[in-house]
Chains A and B, each alone.
Chain A
Amino acid sequence: MLKYLVIQLADDAASYCHYENVSKGVQFISVENLKTAIRFGMVENLNIQFIYPKRALPDGYAEIIETIDHTKIIPCAAPNSKSADIVVCNSIEEIEGYNFDKEQIVILRIYRSEVNELPRIYDLLKGKCARLNVVLRDVEKFSEGDFEDYKSLLAQLGNKVTTSLIEGGNAQLNLLTDRLVLNTMNNCNAGDEVVAIMPNGKFYPCAGFYYDNPNEDFGDLMRGVQIKKRQLFKLSYAPICRHCDAYHCRRCAWLNRKTTLEVNTPSHEQCVVAHLERNESGRILSSIREACEYEPETTIPEIDYLDPFEKRKEW
């Protein structure tokens, strides 16, 4: 069942996830399509998220957007970024030079070569924003050596998160704290619960699919949402993921298709990265429970694999 509608306000709107915005277009969504998209979200009872470009919107758009309850996702370089619910930073430099509001959620998109900066960034943002979501822009390129480095990095971050939580802090870091409170999968769910409307007035599972091929749409504002093979976006039709307990994993359908050609099958690299995070969350959970009472009844058992695919013969 659809729950979220992502409305991309312009072709050059910020990527806030794994895909890169490769569009050279500068088209804004038309006023007519914007109004129709909002109406669609209202009648379908969907949570609406607007994705902004760095540029200012044309006159009149802001008033239309404010006709509905929504979430604003805005790049930090945009003139109106202070009004964002979620601020997107595309580099360490961007995040260092920005004064966040304490209520804002920060998305930091970085490459694997930059992850060593994360402990410093975590300290820098502590108490200055509501949450830090880290998106690895090139997770599919992780090598075995990168996995080892990432594991060490997560251990450093884990120590900081553990200290913070024991001291009563609430600094959320998607890589490590989400799994602490999850007992079921909590993924992106693009194509199943989430659909994006792009400036051309057509639906896609997410913007990444639009940038890959705008002709592979899932309907439009006239015809409605027509998701082909929708079941393949569901967890129950994902043969690896449905056996997995890295519940915080994005389970990115776009990245799945890019790396394995199937929206329901993650790459080895995605699985290992998610499990390194999961395992570090397990270590944090044990440390917290040793130090104090921790209410969520989360369990993160020790496992002997980093890629559930290796266990497929036991399913």
Chain B
Amino acid sequence: MSFEVAKKAIDYILDNENDSNFATESVIWDFIGGEPFLEIDLIEQITNYIKSELYRRNHHWFNSYRLNFTTNGINYDNPKVQQYIKDNYTHIGITITIDGTKRKHDLNRVYKNSSRGSYDDVVKNIPLYLSQFPGASTKVTISSEDIPYIKESVLHLFSLGINEVNINCVFEDVWKDGDELLFENQLIELADEIIDNKLYEGNVCSFYNENIGKPLSTTTSDQNWCGAGMMLSIDAQGNFYPCTRFAGYSLRNKKPIIIGNIRDGINNNLLRPFLSLTRSSQSTDECINCDYAYGCAWCQGENYDAADTPTIYQRATAICKMHKARVRANNYYWNKLYRKLELEGAEKPAEKSFDINC
């Protein structure tokens, strides 16, 4: 993206302060790549422009904004990155995506034109990262090949001092026969380790959530899961998307859904389907009436990409068996934990509820 495109996008957003699409108390400016810290000079230029414009316009987002980054962590100790963090510290949020143990991480994260994994270059930056952002979390994504490494990876991340591990299965149809059993076993073994070693004190793994796996009523719980349509996404050419998953480079089978651009603005009619989505209007009866519905997530982009017709109103259900396996392991976790605490006469730990984010 050129600075000119970024500037026009920012101008469009700030010019339309009173538009319902931007009538929020606060804003998150989310820099995603590829790898955002490869472009730290551009990001600094964009950030300075945002700050100066918010001030110049006396915009209500002034001092009510976040700068978010999801990074692979390799350049985290780069002096320019460090200076940027220092300059924007009170507004910044950074997630380093370290996937777990070296063999798990290096399964998917290798250097271009090389088989060398990036684990060693990332893990060396974790102490610096945690010293600057104590309590930072990481996000782990699980595909079929990753299943055997789930337990060791979560435990490894805990041991690195990352106490919050947000983890979810990919929504794409990658799952093989029997994956659900391997997955369930991994989560049960992980549950044993967490509970037997009291790792639940001070650590959280988002796989375990006491609320998931229950039926949902369409009258009281009919909201959409995904936030597509509520997070304007802008590509390098200045096109707008309801989420980056609807850009051409993210789609396998379907045409991109472009809802506007920096010159013409947003076509609100193209946003209406996204903002009108409900659970019931995109689900089959099987999903609506599922006994395990609570916590079963979806990605609107994958729904669209996998749908029989070009619609966002068809839930992709490849994740179904994995969700049910998670629910079974989750039930095991809470039953075992509560029984243990009961026998020990201890109090129930304060629950921290996590949902899957895409």
Contact = CB atoms under 8 A, between A and B. Distances in A.
A279 interface: no
Nearest to B277: A239
Given A239-B278, A239-B281, A229 B272 contact: no
B269 interface: yes
Q: Chain A: interface secondary structure?
A: loop
Given A229-B307, A229-B308, A260 B273 contact: yes
A268 interface: yes
B281 A238 contact: yes
Interface string B299-324: 00000000111111110000000000
A140 B309 CA distance: 23
Interface residues on A, range: 20 to 34
Q: Chain B: interface secondary structure?
A: loop
Given A228-B308, A229-B308, A238-B281, A268 B313 contact: no
Interface in A251-305: 259-269
B29 to A, nearest CB: 25
A95 B269 CA distance: 33
Nearest to A266: B272
B341 interface: no
A262 B275 contact: no
B309 A228 contact: yes
Nearest to B224: A239
B270 interface: yes
Given A237-B313, A239-B281, A265 B273 contact: yes
B257 interface: yes
A228 B278 CA distance: 20
A261 B257 contact: yes
A52 B313 CA distance: 35
Contact of A309 (B276, B307, B309, B314): B276
Interface residues on B, range: 20 to 34
B270 A261 contact: yes
B268 interface: yes
Contacts of B278: 239, 315
A315 to B, nearest CB: 8
Interface string A114-130: 00000000000000000
Contact of A239 (B268, B276, B314): B276
Contacts of A259: 269
A312 interface: yes
A240 B276 contact: yes
A224 B307 CA distance: 22
B272 A260 contact: yes
Nearest to B259: A261
Given A239-B276, A239-B277, A239-B278, A262 B268 contact: no
A268 B311 contact: no
A232 B311 contact: yes
Nearest to A308: B276
Nearest to B284: A231
Interface string A189-212: 000000000000000000000000
18 contacts: A229-B307, A229-B311, A232-B311, A232-B313, A237-B313, A238-B281, A239-B277, A259-B269, A260-B269, A260-B270, A262-B313, A264-B273, A265-B273, A266-B272, A267-B269, A267-B272, A268-B269, A268-B272
Interface of B: 222, 257, 268-270, 272-273, 275-278, 281, 307-314
Given A229-B311, A268-B268, A309-B272, 20 more contacts: A229-B307, A232-B309, A237-B313, A238-B281, A239-B281, A260-B269, A260-B272, A260-B273, A261-B257, A261-B310, A262-B273, A264-B281, A265-B273, A267-B272, A268-B269, A268-B272, A309-B276, A312-B276, A315-B222, A315-B278
